[in-house]
Amino acid sequence: MKRIFVLALCSVGCFFGTSAQSVRENILRMVLENNPTLKSVRLTNEAAYWESRSGITLSNPEVEFGYQSDFANDGSYKRQLNLSQEIDFSVVSGRKKRVAVAQNALNEKEYQKSSKEVEGEILQLLDQMVYLRKKRDMYIQRIDNSKQIVDLYERSWKNGDCSKLDYNRARLSLADVVASYQTNYLELNSAYMRLTTANGGAAIDTAGLGYDETTLPLEFDSWFASVVDSLPDVQASMQQHSLYEAEKKLAQSYWWPKLTAGYQSERTNDENFHGLNVGLSLPLWENRNSVKAAKLKVSAAEAQTNIRKQSQHDAIYQLYSQARELEKLYATYGESLSNILEMKALLQKAVEAGEMSLTDYLVEVSTYYDLTEKLLDAEYQYQQSKTALVIYEKF
Which CATH number fits the domain that encloses residue 275? 1.20.1600.10
Is the pLDDT score of 127 beyond 80? yes
Q: Is the residue at 8 inside a domain?
A: no
Q: Is the residue at 178 inside a domain?
A: yes
Q: Is the residue at 212 inside a domain?
A: yes
User: Are the C-beta atoms of residues 69 and 76 closer than 8 Å to each other?
Assistant: yes
Confidence (pLDDT) at 71: 66
pLDDT tens figures, 184-214: 999 999 999 999 999 999 999 999 999 988 8
User: Are the C-beta atoms of residues 170 and 145 closer than 8 Å to each other?
Assistant: no
Q: Is the residue at 97 inside a domain?
A: yes
| C-alpha span between 381 and 328 (Å, rounded) | 12
Q: Calculate the CA dihedral of residues 289, 292, 294, 299 and round it to 10 degrees.
A: -160
Which pLDDT band, with edges at 50, 70 and 90, does 318 fall under?
Answer: very high
Is the pLDDT score of 61 beyond 50? yes
User: Are the C-beta atoms of residues 163 and 157 closer than 8 Å to each other?
Assistant: yes
Q: Is the residue at 13 inside a domain?
A: no
Confidence (pLDDT) at 314: 94
Q: Residue 312, Cα to own-chain centre: how many angstroms?
A: 16
Nearby residues of 196 by Cβ (< 8 Å), 6 or more positions away: 202, 203, 204
The number of folded domains in the chain is 1
Q: Is the residue at 1 inside a domain?
A: no
Confidence (pLDDT) at 158: 85
Q: Is the residue at 7 inside a domain?
A: no
Is the pLDDT score of 124 beyond 70? yes
Q: Is the residue at 384 inside a domain?
A: yes
| C-alpha span between 189 and 182 (Å, rounded) | 11
pLDDT tens figures, 382-391: 999 998 887 8
What is the model's pTM? Answer: 0.80
Average pLDDT over residues 79-97: 88
Q: Which domain covers residue 181, as residue numbers?
A: 18-390
Average pLDDT over residues 22-27: 90
More confident residue, 291 or 366: 291
pLDDT tens figures, 153-174: 788 788 887 788 888 888 998 9
Confidence (pLDDT) at 340: 67
